[in-house]
Structure 1
């Protein structure tokens, strides 16, 4: 029997992404965010929710652009640090030895060392209480050749993205369970 545990920010899985922005002086910044996901197929859009108190919030509002850099398991410590430190006080890229790359399509940086990047143009923002949800149209996806499958698509087992747990832990991706839109047909 299920028991009520109350209203909580509980959904599985949630991503561990770095949201890249430039500040008013053109300084590259990024922060770790877990409240996000794909929200539209056509046009391709992604959502990410940030608190107004974050440096990235103001940057997105001003520049109307952001990137989503998807880290691999190899960068879990760096990913965590980007969620702890503030870009107001420190150059997180320099501190962690990561390379900000200026997007050629939107005014925002991405993390060169991470295998997959989404370049996004802000198309909507919604205040939801403590957080503001930003909807970005995905202008382009860039991926390292080493994480692509034989059809040129990103392969989750090669990317090894980090998953965030609401219990404040990071996880990796498990084994495949079956093909979507086909495994259910056999029932």
Structure 2
């Protein structure tokens, strides 16, 4: 029997994405978010939702661009830190020892040490209550060669991302392969 729970934000899982932006003084900043995802395939778009109180919110509003750097498990501590500290008070790149790189296609930095990067130009903002959703057209993608297969496509276990469980507040690695999408369910189509 199912039990009813109070409506809240315990969707499982959520991504661990590090959103890069420049402030009004051109200082690079990065913050970790869990509210985001792909929202359109043509043109390719990615959305992130931020509270207005965050330092990154103002920077994205001013610059009209952001990056999403996807960390691998070896940088879980840095990603956690990026979500706790405010760029208003500290230089997160200097504190973490990671390297900001200026995107060559949008007015935002990304994290050099993270293996997979989306570069987004804001095309729409949606006020949703406590959060503002930034819809960004993906105008560039960067990937370390070490995470690409022979066809030049990223391989998830080589990127080695991790997810966040908002209920337990735990980071988790990606698990075993369960099957291939658009394939394992075919048995119901017979």
- Normalising by structure 1, we get a TM-score of 0.98
Map residues 118-133 of structure 1 onto 2, 5 A cutoff: 118-133=118-133
* 2:32 corresponding residue in structure 1: 32
* 1:176 corresponding residue in structure 2: 177
Distance 2:161 2:51 in 1: 23
* 1:107 corresponding residue in structure 2: 107
Q: Name the Cα RMSD after superposition.
A: 0.7
- Normalising by structure 2, we get a TM-score of 0.97
| Structure 2: 5+ residue stretches without partners | none
Q: Deviations over 1:96-133 (max 9, x none)?
A: 00000000000000000000000000001011000000
SS of the aligned residue for 1:47 comes to strand
SS of the aligned residue for 2:31 comes to strand
Hey, which bits of structure 1, 4+ residues long, moved more than 6 A? none
Map residues 1-187 of structure 1 onto 2, 5 A cutoff: 1-166=1-166, 167-187=168-188
Q: Deviations over 1:60-110 (max 9, x none)?
A: 000000000000000000000000100011000000000000000000000
Alpha-carbon offset, residue 29 of structure 1 = 0.3
Q: Deviations over 1:18-63 (max 9, x none)?
A: 0000000000001000000000000000011000000000000000
| Structure 1: 5+ residue stretches without partners | none
Comparing 160-169 with 35-44, which one deviates more in the overlay?
160-169
Distance 2:119 2:3 in 1: 41
Distance 2:145 2:80 in 1: 25
Alpha-carbon offset, residue 151 of structure 1 = 1.8
